[in-house]
Amino acid sequence: MAVPRAAAFSLLALVVSVRHSAAVNELKFDEALITVSSYLPEPVALLYTSDYCYRCLPQLLLTVPSGTSAHSANATVIISTRFTLTMQVVRGTGNASPVCSWDRLYEEHGHYIILVRSDQNTSAVLCERSEDRSPTNSHIPLLVAFVVLLGISGLYHLRTYISKLGCTQRFLQDCYRRTPCVLNNGPASATEDRQESETPKRRRLLSLDTFRGFSLTLMVFVNYGGGEYWFFQHAPWNGLTVADLVMPWFVFIIGTSVALAFNAMLKRGVSRVQLLRKLTWRTFLLIAIGVFFLNYGPADGPLSWRWARVPGVLQRLGFTYFLVALMHTRFSKENLDGEESHQWKAAIRDIVMYWPEWTIIIALETIWLCLTFLLPVPGCPKGYLGPGGIGDYGQYPNCTGGAAGYIDKWLLGAAHIYHYPTCKELYKTTQPFDPEGVLGTINSAVMAFWGLQAGKIILIYRKHPLRILKRFLIWAIFLGIISAILTKCTRDEGFIPVNKNLWSLTFVTTLSCFSFLLLGLMFYVIDVRHWWGGQPFIYPGMNSIFVYVGHSLLGTYFPFNWEIKDWTSHYEFLGQDVLGTALWVFVSYLLYRKKFFLKI
């Protein structure tokens, strides 16, 4: 006798609640529970495909044994709630056509029931879905953290406002008069402050330091885990998350800093040979720190060449800096003021003056395009940009990264590149792939060149801030249009998708567009209108090497890290990561007060 629909759901919900209440309570963050109850006389299988997994083969999630019309067979499985899932129910365990399918973004800690039964009238298979336990809102910890940080920021600005009030100033002056020990030091230090303020200083571009500090603060946060939210981690392959923004911003800032610093040194009489020695030494230090200090953890033991990873973040930054700084050392201009008289060049002055650099960058990008799309890769189609594994319907499982992965394994060896790429879990890949590989460094230099271009604009049009902002906006629109055309405004279907692992051309143009907009906004707010001093980001921005190396070396130690007690929510993870990031901002503030700035 067939079980009525309402009765079946009620009975099933009662049984499932008893059997799986403990399992639901033990679910970790980004996890939910699915129970499939089948009344069919043959086994059924539940398959899934993540919407972030492009052209992926359906994967088996669970198999339910055969049931009867009166008694169901049940099976339960834990699923990820990070991305939307396409679910399919098929008869048997083979490759049969699905009897039903649906798309859904499952939510954290929810318990979902799928009732599979035959329709009494048509003999069709029905898949009825319900919730046994409502999910929790995983974004509440983010809201709490935002309110706390907003409150701290409000208190800081309130304190600053009160300290500037006339009554506060008079009160402090009365306190100084009544305290002899303070009077002994107060006037002297005040005199020193006045003397320092009267001493002419080279004006610093505060917006650039703030942009660098903002990027570094965000980088520390995402490196510490980002509260274990998926959008604070790198995208599995194509697309962008918050974590994918920070390193390109750093590369952009490198280019801008090269333009400003080299111009200042040339004006002080530093020769180009001295510049060459300086940039070579700095490149060596960056690469050495990356290879010998940040390449392995204390638990790995002595560094061994047998498994040491050659590429890395600082190595990528070092090579990028060397390429751009070497080029600019040769073609930089010592005096930009003389060009103001040539009015007909005003619209394209920042391009015409540096045409050799544009020629070099176009040549580098041509090399990247030719190697990426024309280099024969054994077992892979030409121009392959996919992750391999189960992507592209499993046709190219060993082609992760196409030419980029092939070049790294050929030049460096498979043992010396990254073995846990972001695509490994989602796409079930088996090949190593390094996101800081050789081929991507070419486009990293192109990204730095756009930052160099921003620095040239600031120098050439420094007497006309609105012109700087207009040119920033023009370049942002131009680069955004290139990205829109090459990606077809999609994540996966374009000619060249936005891909941080490959540092694709569209990744560079998209992030350069964002960089021009963000730097332009900060330049207007901080350096033009003086509405904001850049606090607190300006402090880590002026000690970026110290903060980056420090957070990398000490990130696994208390108080930046501790043993997590509650694995069921984001609260403790988010608190740990926010606190660790805030500590480094505070340390950089103390170093700023002590006038300690680590430079290489």
Q: DSSP letters along 504-564, please?
A: -HHHHHHHHHHHHHHHHHHIIIIIIS-----TTTHHHHTSHHHHHHHHHHHTTSTTT----
**Omega of the bond leading into 432 within 30 degrees of 0 (cis):** no
Half-sphere exposure of 152 (CA within 13 A, CB side): 8
Which residues lie across from 85 on neighbouring strands? 50, 104
Cα–Cα distance measured from residue 258 to residue 326, given in angstroms and rounded to the nearest whole number:
10
**Omega of the bond leading into 187 within 30 degrees of 0 (cis):** no
Q: Is 530 annotated in the active site?
A: no
Helix (H, G, I), strand (E, B) or coil at 176: helix
Q: In degrees rounded to 5, what are phi and psi of residue 462? A: -65, -25
Which residues lie across from 73 on neighbouring strands? 38
Helix (H, G, I), strand (E, B) or coil at 73: strand
Out of 20, 109, 111, 234, which one is annotated catalytic? 234
Burial label for 121, CB within 10 Å (0-12, 13-18, 19+), is exposed
Tell me the one-letter amino acid at 572.
E
Cα–Cα distance measured from residue 215 to residue 212, given in angstroms and rounded to the nearest whole number:
5
For residue 73, which of 49, 50, 45, 111 has the smallest C-alpha distance? 45
Rounded to the nearest angstrom, the gap between the alpha carbon of residue 56 and the centroid of all alpha carbons in its chain is: 24
Q: Would you state the structure tokens that stand for residue 509, as one six-digit string?
A: 């143009």
Residue 368 Ramachandran class (φ > 0 left, ψ -120 to 50 alpha, else beta): alpha
Cα–Cα distance measured from residue 78 to residue 80, given in angstroms and rounded to the nearest whole number:
7
Q: Kindly list the distances between the CA atom of residue 447 and the CA atoms of 90, 288, 324, in Å, as whole numbers in the listed order.
A: 48, 23, 10
Helix (H, G, I), strand (E, B) or coil at 80: strand
How far is it between the farthest Cα atoms of the chain?
A: 99
Helix (H, G, I), strand (E, B) or coil at 60: strand
Tell me the one-letter amino acid at 3.
V
243-267 vs 272-292: helix crossing angle, rounded to 10: 150
Cα–Cα distance measured from residue 499 to residue 472, given in angstroms and rounded to the nearest whole number:
24
Helix (H, G, I), strand (E, B) or coil at 84: coil
Give yes or no for a contact between 435 and 422, defined as CB atoms under 8 angstroms apart: yes
Cα–Cα distance measured from residue 226 to residue 27, given in angstroms and rounded to the nearest whole number:
20
Give yes or no for a contact between 79 and 85, defined as CB atoms under 8 angstroms apart: yes
Q: Would you state the structure tokens that stand for residue 281, as one six-digit string?
A: 């030494």
Residue 239 Ramachandran class (φ > 0 left, ψ -120 to 50 alpha, else beta): left
Residue count of the chain: 600
Cα–Cα distance measured from residue 577 to residue 565, given in angstroms and rounded to the nearest whole number:
15
| Radius of gyration for the chain, computed over Cα atoms and rounded to the nearest angstrom | 29
Q: Cβ–Cβ contacts within 10 Å for residue 521, how many? A: 14
Give yes or no for a contact between 268 and 279, defined as CB atoms under 8 angstroms apart: no
Q: What residues are annotated to the active site? A: 234
